[in-house]
Structure 1
Amino acid sequence: MGSMNSPLQHYADAFERLPEAARTTHRREALQRLLALGLPTPDLEDWKYTDLAALRELTPGPSDYRTIPEGAPPADADGLDAFNATFAVDGLDVEIAAKADLAEPLLATGTGHRRHRIRVGRHARALLRIELDPDAEFQTAFFDVDLAEGASLQVLRTQDATPDAQLITRIRARLGRDAKLDVSTVDLGGKLGRHDLNVDLAEPGAEVRLRGLFVASGSGLIDNHTRFDHRAPHGTSRELVRGLAHDSGRGVFNGRIVVHPGAQKTDSEQRIANLILSPKAEINAKPELEIYADDVKCAHGATFGQLDLTALFYLRSRGLPEAEARALLTLAFAMEPLRQIPNAAFRNEALKRVATHLRSDLDEAALVS
């Protein structure tokens, strides 16, 4: 199983230490793909700003394999997907019946590496709550989602991590006719946070909406990548993302929208705004549009800036100290996507988390610089 001189030999060794019942054919195939591809490197465009070198030395720890999620990674899976398919445990495996309306949310929590499979039947409705382990040295959570005709899924994802946590999530979703996927994400802190959202609007009338906020602080990196493939007519996609970076924090947002031939009447909009709060902070944002149809409405844009000096002057003229005025403007900037979260309970929770995080994490020196 791999060469003894391979830099990934420790993954092969860790696999052989799994319980016999966990060393399934699908897992072994995933391991072979991992050993062949390795983990992604900055040589790849999608990983240009994110180096996983430190993760290559980590060996998956002991896990509970009572529940063994089956299923090989997709044919186009990269090494990270293969890693997750090799070592993931105890993921959701849910089939929601047609026309069902789940009263309770699906919960994707826990430690270690998880792989989840969710199928939402025709005209059914569900809510998925993703809560990552804030103390994880290295955690991956991968989701395979399929929405049938008229199905609706709301995803609420939070990452509120300690400075040493390294957390990676990836959602692959296929949307049927008139299906709706609504995603709200909040990324706060951590050493490394990476979130991929890949949506295939496969049939007419499919709709995806994303609203997100990320706050990169300390020396941490938060990297968000999205790809929406419009493959059928009358599809709709919306992205509203706000990013903040301070201290030596780095943020990345790459949003790619592809309108395939025949996807006429596509309506797509992508808005990304970024606020840089200290000289050493950095944000790289790259909206991308590929259009191969001639009757579409598509728009995208990314902005970068610092706090509005006119607004700052106004608040100071009303008696607010400069540090407090800067903090208030920072919070107001961060709140725009959060206010649009449709789930009231999660919206209020997210607003409180972000306010607390900014108050504790943005000291006066960072705000004033």
Structure 2
Amino acid sequence: MSAITQDAHYARQVAQLDDSLASHLPQWLLERRRAAARRFVETGFPDPRDEEWKYTNVRPLTNKAFAADERRDTLDAATVAGYTHHDLEPIQLVFEDGHLRADLSQVDPLPAGVQIRGLNNALHEDSNLLGPYLDAVAHDRFSPFPTLNTAFLTDGVLIHLAKGVTLERPLQLLLYGNADSEALWCHPRILIIAEEQAAATVIEQYVDAKGARGFTNVVTEIVAHAAAQVQHYLLQEHSDTAYHVGNVFVRQHRDSVVTSHNVNMGGRLVRHDLNIDLIEPGSEIHLNGLFLVGGRQHVDTHTRVHHAVPHTRSREEYRGIAQGHGRGVFKGRVLIQEGAQKTEAEQHSANLLLSDKAEIDAKPELEIYADDVKAAHGATVGQLDAESLYYLASRGIPRETARAMLVHAFAEQALERMALEPIREARRDRLSQRLPGTIEDSKGH
């Protein structure tokens, strides 16, 4: 029997879902959410015996009585300013415990052809607008959490770019968790629709008050139509006691280019799934990732790139750093379908262990059913180079400083691929704060 049917708390929440659904919701959404709740009852939380979840046990989630909570609205403008990338002059939407804080957001004015709306606002103002987009790309073939998200949808954002429109300023989505929300779960949904030849940069950033223990279960859907270009930054910097499950779904049409930067430097238990479907010739995906774990943190990333047609391209580079008792996981799968000739696919995972108690599991996979392709993959897991440490020490550099320099150099190969300098600098600063000798995590506590 699944974990959720064993757990009376979650079973009760699902059974009472009809009562919790607001009466103003359109019929199509009520039916969709009820169906999602039924599917989740059938599947339950994933089991480590499932191949897709063999490295990540979600028991810490099933053992906690997470539930939705009333809005607090305690986040203030000064705190938001501390996380805002002012040099970028971003358009900004702020969420507190999964709910949009319009009073702290900066959206207007928007160029013609750009629509950025909170999901709850869109449901009130024009519910039919969301119908074609919500769940258009997301699915639960590899994870039940997207279904859970649909059933208990909190809030989110619809980003729609009309044909030929470029959003010159980046859009920052700041999702903040409160310290007093120990039993809180939230289920944001982010929809990004880029029509033909549209372009945008979206920064999806997760931060918490110190000591926050909530659970964020987010789904991001990206549709890039012909020749569209989307830069997507996913920056996960939760409290080290918080929980995060994220599913990103990308569907790409002819000659579209999507770049994904996935950086994890927080969270107690974190799982990210990135599912990419290249469905028309000329589509191209670039996946760039970096994680740093320490203490008892666990971060698991699964990428799946599906080359469904000829003349598509994927480039993937993920880097991981583990210290203390931290555990990192990277599993990347590239599927080249029959008939997808002239495909180019590269995947590499490089990982660095800074402690003999840390662990990183790397599993790259290629599944090829076409004969005229270029494909390569590889994975490495190792420690800092002893000769490099000796070289730096011989020039009078203290050992801890030398270690930090080498770790920074290792991480820099992921950071330098990020086009936005303020984003790079902020990640460098956070990396410095969490390196050995600077936080308790490095002691393995």
TM-score by length of 2: 0.77
Deviation at 1:345, TM superposition (A): 2.7
**Structure-1 separation of matches of 2:439 and 2:369:** 44
**Structure-2 separation of matches of 1:268 and 1:210:** 11
Q: In angstroms, what is the RMSD of aligned CA positions? A: 2.3
Deviation at 1:362, TM superposition (A): 5.3
Distance 1:107 1:365, change over 3 A: closer
Contact 1:174 1:199 in 2 (8 A): yes
Picking from 192, 211, 215, the partner of 2:292 is 215
**Structure-1 separation of matches of 2:218 and 2:364:** 25
Amino acid corresponding to residue 249 of structure 1 in structure 2: G
Distance 1:37 1:365, change over 3 A: closer
Distance 1:261 1:364, change over 3 A: closer
Q: Is 209-218 or 341-350 further displaced after alignment?
A: 341-350
1:273-312 aligned within 5 A = 273-312=350-389
How many corresponding residue pairs? Answer: 364
Contact 1:182 1:209 in 2 (8 A): yes
Picking from 193, 197, 212, the partner of 1:119 is 193
Picking from 144, 160, 163, the partner of 1:98 is 163
2:321 counterpart residue number: 244
Amino acid corresponding to residue 157 of structure 2 in structure 1: L
1:1-369 aligned within 5 A = 6-7=6-7, 8-13=10-15, 15=17, 16-21=19-24, 24-56=30-62, 57-62=64-69, 66-67=120-121, 71-72=134-135, 74=139, 76=141, 78-110=143-175, 112-134=186-208, 135=212, 137-358=214-435, 361=438
**Structure-2 separation of matches of 1:142 and 1:106:** 17
Structure 1 unaligned spans of 5+? none
**Structure-1 separation of matches of 2:60 and 2:270:** 13
Distance 1:271 1:77, change over 3 A: closer
Deviation at 1:358, TM superposition (A): 2.3
Distance 1:32 1:361, change over 3 A: farther
Contact 1:10 1:59 in 2 (8 A): no
- Structure 1 residues 225-253: Cα deviation after superposition (integer angstroms, max 9, x where no partner): 10000011121111111101111100000
- Secondary structure of the residue that 1:169 maps to in structure 2? strand
Contact 1:263 1:293 in 2 (8 A): yes
- Structure 1 residues 80-126: Cα deviation after superposition (integer angstroms, max 9, x where no partner): 11110011222112221011000233333335210122210101101
- Secondary structure of the residue that 2:393 maps to in structure 1? helix
Taking every aligned residue pair, what percent have the same amino acid on both sides?
36
**Structure-2 separation of matches of 1:324 and 1:10:** 53
Distance 1:330 1:186, change over 3 A: same
2:88 counterpart residue number: none
- Structure 1 residues 2-38: Cα deviation after superposition (integer angstroms, max 9, x where no partner): xx97534133145233433358111111101111111
Deviation at 1:365, TM superposition (A): 6.9
Distance 1:364 1:131, change over 3 A: closer
- Secondary structure of the residue that 2:234 maps to in structure 1? strand
TM-score by length of 1: 0.92
**Structure-2 separation of matches of 1:148 and 1:229:** 17
- Secondary structure of the residue that 2:69 maps to in structure 1? coil
Amino acid corresponding to residue 114 of structure 1 in structure 2: P
Structure 2 unaligned spans of 5+? 71-98, 100-118, 124-129, 177-185
Deviation at 1:333, TM superposition (A): 1.2
**Structure-2 separation of matches of 1:356 and 1:310:** 25
